[in-house]
Amino acid sequence: MARGDLDDMGWVARVGGDLGARYDVIHCAASLSFLDSNRAQVLHTNLGGTTRLLAALAGDGRHDQTMASFNYVSTAYVAGRRTGCIHEDIASAKPAFNNAYEESKSLAEAAVTATCSARAIAYRIFRPSIIIGHSKTYRSYSDSGFYKVLDRLAAFAEMGGTGQRIGVTLPREATLDLIPVDIVSAEMRLLIGAPVSDTDCIFHITSEHTTTLFDFARLISPIIGVSLDPSQGDSGDASFELRILNRLLSNYASYFTSEKHFDRSNVRAAGADRMQKAYRLDLSRLARFVTTYLDARRATAETMPTRDRPTRARRAALV
């Protein structure tokens, strides 16, 4: 394994002769920010970092001879605002994106396919969906994505939302596509070890068993202590509480109202779906992921000074 900085590619030449006769490059470094204010940094890291790495690898002739494949970890959400069945290919028309993160990953995919095709470098593009903790321990070292949403919901409860009953309007076909990190890793390893014929492909590293948003709302309500009632969406103006909740979750709403189905034909054809044949992320397991995170969050909060904890007064500032 070689580590390096995406802003300083000197390490690429240094390790060129130390990686063995044949090796695979897995590029997963990325900025995960969804904030508009971080757009420049997201593009610099996700697009710029990828193009700089490709240029450094292509500029050192040794890598052309010894690099077995270039594997880029993208995101299933390069689909942007598209709905319905999303295939494992590059969209013929550029979709509308929800944020700079999605756009940067789409642009980086284009850079990977163009550069690798031009230099006859075998490549794979992996598109994971929403990655959560380990399927056996339920623990996660991440505080972004799914866990940021849990954090915001818990913060809402701590700021006076506990016991509230909030009507939320949810798309009937909306699902959450959650996949444990060890299954993501296992599927990618299987695909990298697959025959050469399975290169120059895109693979959806996504769940075979998605969770409906209705089921998630009902699952999480008693755990958080806030009743999210998907059967009684607000009519007319949103309630004060719902406006607060919308503000807290604004950067993540598109992933929780998604009406997408990620096709996995390429994954199945390569036989890399075997892990999910033996593992199903059902509601009882999902509840364990939620409670494991919230227990860890609570333990961390107990070490914080009282002045740094959420208060009711801060709720009003959000609206």
pLDDT digits (tens, 9 = 90+) for 204-261: 999 999 999 889 988 998 998 887 776 655 545 556 667 777 777 888 888 877 789 9
* CA dist., res. 186 & res. 135, Å (int): 12
For 21-40, what is each residue's pLDDT tens digit?
A: 678 899 999 999 998 899 99
Neighbour tally for 134: CB within 10 Å? 16
Strand partners, 133: none
Residue 76 · residue 129 · CB < 8 Å: yes
Q: Which segment of 42-51, 209-218, 228-237, 286-295 scores lowest on mean pLDDT?
A: 228-237
The two beta strands, 175-176 and 67-73, are unpaired
Give domain limits for the chain: 10-128, 132-176+210-259+280-317
* CA dist., res. 17 & res. 160, Å (int): 59
Per-residue model confidence (pLDDT) at position 82: 94
Name the pTM for this structure. 0.88
Neighbour tally for 110: CB within 10 Å? 14
**Residue holding tokens 């690898």?**
57
* CA dist., res. 22 & res. 19, Å (int): 8
List phi, psi (to 5°) of 256: -110, 5
At 85 the three-state DSSP class reads: strand
Contacts of 269 (CB under 8 A, 6+ apart): 198
Q: What does CATH list as the number for 10-128? A: 3.40.50.720
For 210-222, what is each residue's pLDDT tens digit?
A: 999 889 988 998 9
